[in-house]
Amino acid sequence: MTHHVSVKDVTADLLRQWEHDPYNLLQILIGVQQTFQHISTTAVDLIADKLSLPRASIEGVIGFYSFLHVQQRGLYDLLMSDNIVDQMSGSRELAGLLARRLDVKSGTTRADGAVSLGYTSCTGMGDQGPAALVNNRALTSLTPQRIEQIAELIEERVPLGEWPQELFAVSGNIQRRDLLLESDLLQGAAIDAVVSRGAEQILSELEESGLRGRGGAGFRTALKWRFCRDAAADERVVVCNADEGEPGTFKDRVLLQAYADRLFEGMALCAGVIGASRGFLYLRAEYFYLLEDLQQELQRRRDANLLGEDILGQAGFDFDIEIHLGAGAYICGEESALIESLEGKRGIPRIRPPFPVTEGYRGRPTVVNNVETLIAAAMIAVHGAEWFCSRGTDDSAGTKLLSISGDCARPGVYEYPYGVSIEAILRDCGARDVQAVQVAGPAGQCVPPSEFHRAIAFEDLSTGGSMMIFNQQRNLLNAVENFADFFVHESCGLCTPCRVGTTLLQKRLRKVVSGHATSEDLAMMRTIGSVVRESSHCGLGMTAANPILGSMEKFPGVYSEKLKSTGFEPAFDLDAALDEARKITGRDDAGAHIEGGGV
């Protein structure tokens, strides 16, 4: 909220800070946005000139990310988290309250430029919602009283730094600890393990442990590291995917907040094993509030010779970590889109092969791992494969952190051995009268009570960690609609089925929700949905129809009760469509109306 610095000076500083490197374009743009609440043509021109990039490409990057704008946003840029769980705890009503109180319409900036209001995808605070962001700072546990307080702070132009700290308090909420969170990890122990025992030993240990990626895909970690280690290259890269964007998950946020030392330990371990000298933590913009602490943790580790040159005295073991911020794009959780974003570009998933392990960041062999995976790897290097395999199932060794939210008494982070049943989890978190559980976020599955005996495991219900609970009083279609909207908002737009199909599905679903659909519409949703699933370019598209296809299969009743009995209903209200013509002609007689609004 600086008003008296010039765009030119700030942009020039940012360009210097990021070494005039076009690969750092996104980080430069984020800096400009945060300083001036928008990215002006002056800034774009300057950046285009200094980085020798076409202006339209820079604008294309701005246009891709939700948190970058060419139009001026308010001094206070407020975005309400719009996940279904936030909605269930009253976020929409609070947004309405705020809009009335501040006299600003949702999706707009107030005329005096003081405030913008809008919605954003899940901010990762499902256990302490309704949540929001104000200029990238996380607001939690919102209530009507807090909304009133925030409105006053804004009207009095109180700088964010002077707002009461309790508004920004984020609690850890760890409700159940198991193997990972109960065991110790001495600082430097995992790095010492690779230095003293060698990369091959560590890889064997990881292989034996059966560790698989915790982000959802479940690729074998040892295999990924080995592919990268074996790829011919002078430089290799370790990337931690901290773009925890799956609606309803927040366990990585807790790990970043309370276990960052273990994460960096895991990244350095990976660097030691694969021979990487560069590391990146790709941090979602919603977790910007963690940035300073994470930077300090990195500095502590440099001071302790756990990062930097000749780590732990091992000549030639050079490795350091930079933090890059995201800017509001769920797709950047997909590893190749994340790499594009790290390179300062639009987050479009790459064509594979080549896979990142052979050609990743700037064409260098790159390991991309989830926060939880890297921590688990560090723990395995120290405590051993046997320790890790003491929990879990044959195909899913170890434990899984779950982010539990929605209708239950004790939302929060739960660490469970793989193989735990939905039933057991619901008992532990105090969920009663449950209608459905959404496992693995919108991209996952909506599980009905008849399947609550099923287990969290790669071989059954595979998940990155999101678990949202809906009781019998909830209208499941609201959740399905929320998820369909989410995919429309987050589709990158590259491939036809995901770009267009998600919007067509959204329109049909709205027809169902508004009570105008027939069985024809359901059939059409199945057709469109299966094309989106089968022909999309990446995992986002392949799963984007899941909320609709899955709920039609598992909860047919919520659809059938909404259907009209007629065989055909128009996609729009014909009578309403005539309204403009009636206004122009000044007619409003019976002949100027179509009865019933349709054929």
- State yes or no: residue 482 binds another protein (CB under 8 A): no
- State yes or no: residue 531 binds another protein (CB under 8 A): yes
Size of the site for another protein (CB under 8 A): 41
In the list 496, 563, 578, 592, the residue contacting another protein (rule: CB under 8 A) is: 496
Q: Which residues contact 522 (CB under 8 A, 6 or more apart)?
A: 512, 552, 559, 563
**Which candidate, 211, 241, 214, places its Cα nearest to that of 226?**
211
Considering the complex, state which of residue 531 and residue 592 has its C-beta at the smaller distance from another protein: 531
Encoded one letter per residue, x for contact with another protein by CB under 8 A and - for no contact, window 258-277 reads --------------------
- State yes or no: residue 159 binds another protein (CB under 8 A): no
- State yes or no: residue 144 binds another protein (CB under 8 A): no
Rounded (5°) CA angle 388-189-333: 65
3-state secondary structure of 445: strand
- State yes or no: residue 504 binds another protein (CB under 8 A): yes
Considering the complex, state which of residue 177 and residue 510 has its C-beta at the smaller distance from another protein: 510
Kindly identify the residues of this chain, within the stretch 285-324, that bind another protein according to CB under 8 A: none
Rounded (5°) CA angle 547-551-552: 120
Q: Which stretch binds another protein (CB under 8 A): 93-101, 269-277, 363-371, 524-532?
A: 524-532
Shortest CB 53 distance to another protein, Å: 9
Q: Which residue has the tokens 């709205």?
A: 510
Q: Which stretch binds another protein (CB under 8 A): 54-62, 108-116, 166-174, 279-287?
A: 54-62
- State yes or no: residue 526 binds another protein (CB under 8 A): no
In the list 302, 499, 562, 582, the residue contacting another protein (rule: CB under 8 A) is: 499
Shortest CB 79 distance to another protein, Å: 16
Q: Which stretch binds another protein (CB under 8 A): 10-18, 25-33, 426-434, 523-531?
A: 523-531
Q: What is the DSSP letter of 453?
A: T
Shortest CB 537 distance to another protein, Å: 6
Encoded one letter per residue, x for contact with another protein by CB under 8 A and - for no contact, window 412-441 reads ------------------------------
Helix (H) or strand (E) holding 282: strand 278-283
Considering the complex, state which of residue 127 and residue 340 has its C-beta at the smaller distance from another protein: 340
Angstrom distances, CA of residue 168 to CA of 30, 260, 273, 399, 539 = 21, 20, 39, 30, 33
3-state secondary structure of 468: strand
Taking the C-alpha atoms of residue 308 and residue 301, their distance in angstroms, rounded to an integer, is: 9
Considering the complex, state which of residue 244 and residue 485 has its C-beta at the smaller distance from another protein: 485
In the list 1, 5, 56, 169, the residue contacting another protein (rule: CB under 8 A) is: 56
In the list 528, 548, 549, 552, the residue contacting another protein (rule: CB under 8 A) is: 528
Considering the complex, state which of residue 456 and residue 488 has its C-beta at the smaller distance from another protein: 488
Number of H-type helices and E-type strands within the chain? 26, 15
In the list 40, 42, 57, 518, the residue contacting another protein (rule: CB under 8 A) is: 57
Kindly identify the residues of this chain, within the stretch 61-90, that bind another protein according to CB under 8 A: 63-66
What does the block give as tokens for 201?
């030993």
Q: Which stretch binds another protein (CB under 8 A): 14-22, 142-150, 462-470, 499-507?
A: 499-507
Q: Which stretch binds another protein (CB under 8 A): 59-67, 140-148, 170-178, 359-367?
A: 59-67
In the list 217, 312, 500, 563, the residue contacting another protein (rule: CB under 8 A) is: 500
- State yes or no: residue 497 binds another protein (CB under 8 A): yes
Considering the complex, state which of residue 399 and residue 482 has its C-beta at the smaller distance from another protein: 482
**DSSP-derived pairing of the beta strands 412-417 and 399-406:** antiparallel
SS (H, E, C) 343-401: CCCCCCCCCCCCCCCCCCHHHCCEEEEEHHHHHHHHHHHHHCHHHHHCCECCCCECEEE
Tell me the residue ranges of DSSP E strands in 24-156. Answer: 76-81, 108-109, 115-120, 132-134, 137-139
Q: How many CB atoms lie within 10 A of CB 328?
A: 21
- State yes or no: residue 488 binds another protein (CB under 8 A): yes
In the list 346, 383, 391, 516, the residue contacting another protein (rule: CB under 8 A) is: 346
Confirm if 540 and 334 have CB atoms less than 8 A apart. yes
Q: How many CB atoms lie within 10 A of CB 93?
A: 13
- State yes or no: residue 351 binds another protein (CB under 8 A): yes
- State yes or no: residue 527 binds another protein (CB under 8 A): yes
Shortest CB 38 distance to another protein, Å: 16
Shortest CB 24 distance to another protein, Å: 19
- State yes or no: residue 490 binds another protein (CB under 8 A): yes
Helix (H) or strand (E) holding 87: helix 84-88
- State yes or no: residue 443 binds another protein (CB under 8 A): no
- State yes or no: residue 60 binds another protein (CB under 8 A): yes
In the list 126, 501, 547, 550, the residue contacting another protein (rule: CB under 8 A) is: 501
Shortest CB 341 distance to another protein, Å: 12
Taking the C-alpha atoms of residue 579 and residue 421, their distance in angstroms, rounded to an integer, is: 55
Shortest CB 412 distance to another protein, Å: 32
Q: Is the dihedral of CA 460, 465, 470, 475 positive or negative?
A: negative
3-state secondary structure of 234: coil
- Helix, strand, coil % in the chain, rounded to nearest 5: 50, 15, 35
Taking the C-alpha atoms of residue 501 and residue 525, their distance in angstroms, rounded to an integer, is: 9
How does DSSP assign 540-581, residue by residue? Answer: HHHHHTHHHHHHHHH-HHHHHTT--SSS---SS-HHHHTHHH
Taking the C-alpha atoms of residue 206 and residue 379, their distance in angstroms, rounded to an integer, is: 10
Q: Which stretch binds another protein (CB under 8 A): 214-222, 422-430, 436-444, 527-535?
A: 527-535
Residues that bind another protein in the complex, under the rule CB under 8 A: 54-57, 59-60, 63-66, 329, 346, 351, 353, 488-497, 499-504, 507-508, 524, 527-528, 531, 534-537, 571
